[in-house]
Chain A
C-alpha cells in the first residue's frame, strides 16, 4: 500500500506557484521522498527526490519538514503544461537486495488554469 496521503485535486492559476502537499507520517529513516508526474496518456515523469534536506532542480523544489512526516512540491511558475497527476512516493533506498520499486497512490490532479 502507498504510504503517502495527497489531496485528490488542486487548482492553480497560470504563472503562480503551485504548492502540492504530501503527508508521509510513517516514513522510515531509509526512505526517500520521490515526486513524479503523469501527463495524460504519457508515462510517469521523474521530477525530484530528497531524504531530509530541501532540494531544487530545474523543474521544482522539494521542501521536507524537519520531522520528515510531510513534504511540499513547489512549481514556482506553473504553466498550462504542468497540468498533470502528481505522485508523492516514499521509497526504500539502500545497498541491500530489495528491488526499490515505486509504489504509487492515486496522486493529486493539478489543474493549471489560464
Chain B
C-alpha cells in the first residue's frame, strides 16, 4: 500500500494561468475524491468519481474547474484562468466501495498547495 500520491506538492502560478494537478489513488480503490482546503478551515468537498464516472460536483466547483479520471485510475484536476481566490490546498482521497462493509474510510494524499500571485 503506497498510499495516495499527489503531484506536484507545491505550485506557484500567476493569475490567469492554467494549472493541472494529478492524483494517483491507492491501486485497487475505485472511488476518488477531490477536496479543497483554505487556511484555518477543514477540507471542503469538490467532486468524486466512481471508476471513470464523475458522479457529483459541488457548487464550489466553478466552470473554470474540470476533473477527469479517464481510465478509472489516476485523476487530474485542472483550473483555468486562475484567480487569487483559488489559492488553497487541493487534496485527493480514495476509497474502495463497496467493501465487505460499506463504511470503508477515505484515505487522503498530502495535497497540492496552490499559490496564485
Contact = CB atoms under 8 A, between A and B. Distances in A.
B56 A104 contact: no
B45 A44 contact: no
Interface size, A (range): 20 to 34
Nearest to A85: B42
Interface of A: 2, 32, 34, 36, 41-46, 49, 51, 87, 91, 93-95, 99-107
A87 B41 CA distance: 11
Q: Interface SS of chain A: helix, strand, loop or mixed? A: loop
Given A99-B48, A101-B33, 16 more contacts: A36-B108, A41-B110, A43-B4, A43-B108, A45-B108, A46-B108, A87-B42, A93-B101, A93-B103, A94-B102, A99-B55, A101-B56, A102-B43, A102-B45, A104-B44, A106-B40
B103 A2 contact: no
